[in-house]
Amino acid sequence: MIRFRLSVLPLVVVVLLSGAAWAQQDDRARVLNQQIERIYQANEFALPRFGPARWLGDGTAYTTVERAPGADGGWDIIRYDAASGARSVLIAGSRLTAPALPAQSARPALSIDDYVWSGDGSRLLVFTNSKKVWRQNTRGDYWVLHLQSGELKQLGAGAPASSLMFAKFSPDATRVAYVRANNIYVERIDDGRVTALTSDGSATIINGTSDWVYEEEFGVRDGFRWSPDGRAMVYWQFDSSGVGLFSLINNTDTLYPVVTTIPYPKAGTTNSAARVGVVAAEGGATQWIKTEGDPRNTYLARIDWIDAKTVSIQQLNRLQNRNDFLTADVATGAVKQVFRDESKSWVDIVEDVPWIDGGRTFLWTSERDGWQHVYRVPREGGSGQLITRFDADVTDIAGIDQKDGWLYFRASPDNAGQRYLYRSKLDGSGVPERVTPASQAGTHRYDVAPGGKLAFHTYSAFDRPPVVDVVELPSHKSLRTLTDPSAMVAKVQPLLQPPVEFFKIAIGGGVELDGYMLKPSTFDASKKYPVISHVYGEPAGQTVNDSWGGGQMLFHRALAEAGYIVLSVDNRGTPAPRGTDWRKVVYGSVGDLSSKDQAAAIWALTEKYSFLDAARIGVWGWSGGGTNTLNAMFRFPGIYQVGVAVAPVPDQRLYDTIYQERYMGLPQENVEGYKIGSAINFAEGLQGKLLVVHGSGDDNVHAQGTERLINRLIELGKPFDSMIYPNRSHSISEGTGTTVHIYKLIARYFLQHLPAGAR
């Protein structure tokens, strides 16, 4: 009996201890779930709304949208003097009401999804009743209000509800152009007469908007532009015949499945044929612009007018390592190459090409000297004059003050996770001057007013919610605060302790990576904590940003408070402003170098900080981050024990042409690169606990890849977990409770397989 008792008692103690440990885990789970509900269900930490705001033409005043008085008052359009704050109701919500239907006792107020002023300020175009097409594109209804007469008219009379897209005033504000069913129409406001500028729109011929891949990767949505004199229209046309069709199956909403097919070109396959045409605003034959090359193997990424006789086009080759800036004569369609930007890896499109000097000169952004800089190029062509003379990257152009000769742009020469406003002389003399005060560390965004003297300014940091104000330029003097987040700050402040810690970690070979770390408020450096690494790691985004991260940052804060060290590192190849070599070193090997950098960083961090438990390392990410989570779990099983991969791309051959080929080249020409870069080819390395999550309605990163991965893991006999969200898109956000559910799922998986708490 003594031997029996001696053999049983230790087991009883172990069981009791395990029970206590699990009770503690249950308590952590309860608190963590409550925090997730506060973030994503109760929306306790939502920021105050500002806008949509529009600068008025003289750059001294703006309009915005505010709730009208009364329960059913709709929305007022308010005019503010930017400096003084003088407020006036420009358009009362009572003037923006639709005709009452037979069953309605009163005219319903229009909801304002967006609005645009005519150039002369005499009319307002209101977009309402919007419906999603895919990720960004929407259809809806448009109404025009004449300010003086008060007349409110709906455009597209007789068209189905929510069927119009991208409506735009003509320069003289007498007409509006819009897209419906893949055709472009011009409607006269006074009498409602409609002219079809195109008539061949169909399921495969797309006029005035874009196909899926141009919308997703080039941001092409509104695919037409009025000429400056209002006499013509330049537009894109896409022929998607021959593009592979991807089917999304909705198994839940009807008795039988509903199948939606989308022309989606996967890497190495056939693209839509794109061309640019010009048509008279009164209708007639289209003059097609005579760009060179196979229209299915070149990209026409941007179009615009230079003057009433000339349009500009950015044309890239299929590999996207050459971007030609073209001018085209609209009468003949003849083109001229004005500027060529090229690289051994890839070049990016220029989001906006500002024209200065009365149209004699344009500004072009290029990485030709190893940094992303702005050049001043004559309309006749040439190599261009460098304007931003410093060893740093220009992240984006913020505005131009032509009168005084200044270019405003954002940069951060000393900290890749921050952004500040700078200015340079447009004539290229001198060196850039910092405009943002040195005392305001963090991230700053600007919407510069016409004339370049004022700007909407948004300032935030990792632990500082954003505040919007009006600043004077170049003094950066704050004239008025536009948002007051104090009520939200009072709620969130207890969650922001201890402050985030930014760090740099050397991984060998002279390479140093940026990162951040979140700790629990009860942190004890003498103990060891489990680690959750949040990863993205692709060329499309950074995670180490000194800016307010919203719900996901608060989720990471909640994980840290539950007893984890949450950290993130930006590997080489992310779009940090650290020079061209930093960003483009991954060319042809995306997925390989990123995973090696991430693993090296974790190894170096656990060596440097004794409180990081090298035996308890987890990793998670979404989209490209989901892909790199797979890479981590498969390639470095000795480092990572638990992973959650949301909406990953396990096989790079399954993603779209424009994105994947930009960074990897054609799969037919880089067979080995695609093989080494694809996580599915390393699945045999899985040893830890893995959860793969996907939305079955993801039109961007298809669940097909996750299904192929599941098949491979089954073939290999690997245990794993998976979760499919029916009909959800890439954001996995549609439907009541979805967002809170997925974040609880992620938290639960870590709590179960990577127990929180120090030891």
Q: What is the pLDDT of residues 237-249, one digit of tens each?
A: 999 999 999 999 9
Cβ–Cβ under 8 Å, residues 591 and 631? yes
Q: Answer yes or no: are the C-beta atoms of 424 and 438 closer than 8 Å.
A: no
pLDDT at 12 over 60: no
Asked if residue 351 belongs to a domain, the reply is: no
Predicted confidence band of residue 100 (pLDDT cuts 50, 70, 90): low
Q: pLDDT category, 105, cuts 50, 70, 90?
A: low
Give, in degrees to the nearest 5, the angle at Cα 298 between 697 and 262.
Answer: 20
- Our CA dihedral for 625, 628, 633, 634, rounded to 10 degrees, sits at 150
Q: Is residue 536 a part of any domain in this protein?
A: yes
CA–CA gap between residue 455 and residue 478 (Å, rounded) = 10
Confidence of residue 220 (pLDDT cuts 50, 70, 90): very high
Q: Which residues pair with 161 in a beta bridge?
A: none
Q: pLDDT tens-digit profile of 680-725?
A: 999 999 999 999 999 999 999 999 999 999 999 999 999 999 999 9
Q: Of 177, 196, 215, which marks where a domain is finished?
A: 196
Domain final position from 145, 171, 196: 196
pLDDT for residue 21: 66
Closest CA to 513 of 567, 587, 443, 440: 567
Which uninterrupted H or E stretch holds 633? helix 624-635
Domains contained in the chain, number: 2
Between CA 350 and CA 574 the distance in angstroms is 18
Based on the domain organization, do 33 and 73 belong to the same domain?
A: no
Mean local confidence (pLDDT), 171-183: 97
Percent of the chain topping pLDDT 70: 95
Shared domain check, 30 and 77: no
C-alpha span between 712 and 709 (Å, rounded):
5
Write the burial class of residue 729 (CB in 10 Å: 0-12 exposed, 13-18 middle, 19+ buried). buried
Under 8 Å CB-to-CB from 493, ≥6 apart: which residues?
Answer: none
Checking if the pLDDT of 19 tops 90, the result is no
Is the domain of 29 the same as that of 121? no
* Residues 96 and 127 sit within 8 Å (Cβ to Cβ): no
- Does 52 sit behind a cis peptide bond, omega within 30 degrees of 0 on the bond before it? yes
* Bridge partners of residue 233, in order along the sequence: 226, 279
Q: Are residues 40 and 87 in the same domain?
A: no
At 452 the three-state DSSP class reads coil
**H-run or E-run covering 356:** strand 355-356
Rounded mean pLDDT of 480-503? 96
Cβ–Cβ under 8 Å, residues 301 and 314: yes
CATH number at residue 542: 3.40.50.1820
SS3 241: coil
Dist. CA 214–CA 273, nearest whole Å: 11
Closest CA to 371 of 326, 409, 425, 335: 409
CA distance 100 to 602: 63
Q: 3-class SS at 217?
A: helix
Rg (CA), the chain: 28
Tell me, yes or no, whether 342 lies in a domain. Answer: no
The first and second tokens of residue 249, run together, are 């199956």
The region of weakest confidence among 79-88, 97-106, 456-465 is 97-106
Which segment of 130-134, 173-177, 587-591 scores lowest on mean pLDDT?
Answer: 130-134
- For the record, the structure tokens of 13 come out as 């103690």
Give the distance between the most distant pair of CA atoms in the chain: 105
Q: Same domain for 630 and 741?
A: yes
Whether residue 150 sits in one domain with residue 36: no
Position 17 scores a pLDDT of 41
317, part of any domain = no
Instruction: Please report the pLDDT score of residue 3 as a whole number.
Output: 33
Which residue range is the domain that position 640 belongs to?
21-46+499-651+679-753
Q: Cβ distance 675 to 707 under 8 Å? A: no
pLDDT digits (tens, 9 = 90+) for 636-686: 999 999 999 999 999 999 999 999 999 999 999 999 999 999 999 999 999
pLDDT score at 280 = 98
* Other beta carbons less than 10 A from residue 706's beta carbon: 27
Q: Do residues 549 and 495 touch, judged by C-beta distance below 8 A?
A: no
Q: Do 683 and 537 lie in a common domain?
A: yes
Q: Which helix (H) or strand (E) holds 254?
A: none
Q: Is 234 part of any domain?
A: no
pLDDT digits (tens, 9 = 90+) for 543-568: 999 999 999 999 999 999 999 999 99
Same domain for 638 and 684: yes
**Shared domain check, 573 and 544:** yes
The 8-class DSSP code of residue 407 comes to E
Segments of 162-265 assigned E as strands:
165-169, 175-180, 183-188, 194-196, 205-207, 224-226, 232-239, 245-250, 258-263
d(CA 658, CA 645): 23
Answer whether residue 218 is part of any domain: no
- Report the chain's mean pLDDT, rounded to a whole number: 94
**How would you classify residue 476: left for phi > 0, otherwise alpha for psi between -120 and 50, otherwise beta?**
left
Last residue of a domain, one of 144, 161, 196: 196
Q: Tens of pLDDT along 643-653? A: 999 999 999 99
User: Is 377 part of any domain?
Assistant: no
Taking residue 423's Cβ as centre, other Cβ atoms within 10 Å add up to 24
Q: Provide φ and ψ at 315, rounded to 5°.
A: -115, 125
pLDDT at position 25, please?
77
Work out whether strand 183-188 and strand 175-180 pair parallel, antiparallel, or are unpaired: antiparallel
Q: What is the mean pLDDT of residues 363-385?
A: 96
CATH code where residue 71 lies: 2.40.128
**The residue type at 416:** A
378-422 per-position pLDDT tens digit: 999 888 999 999 999 999 999 999 999 999 999 999 999 999 999
Q: What is the pLDDT at residue 22?
A: 64
Identify whether residues 169 and 39 lie together within a single domain.
no
394-401 vs 385-386, strand pairing mode: unpaired
Average the pLDDT over 135-158 and give the result.
Answer: 89
CB environment 305-344: b (16+ within 10 A), e (fewer): bbeeebbbbbbbbbbbbbbbbbbbbbeebebeebbebebe
Q: Are residues 687 and 619 in the same domain?
A: yes
Report yes or no on 180 lying in a domain. yes
pTM beyond cutoff 0.85: yes
Confidence check: pLDDT of 477 > 90: yes
Residues 148 and 33 in one domain: no
**Does residue 6 have a pLDDT over 60?**
no
Residue 222 tokens read as 């509104």
pLDDT at residue number 74: 85
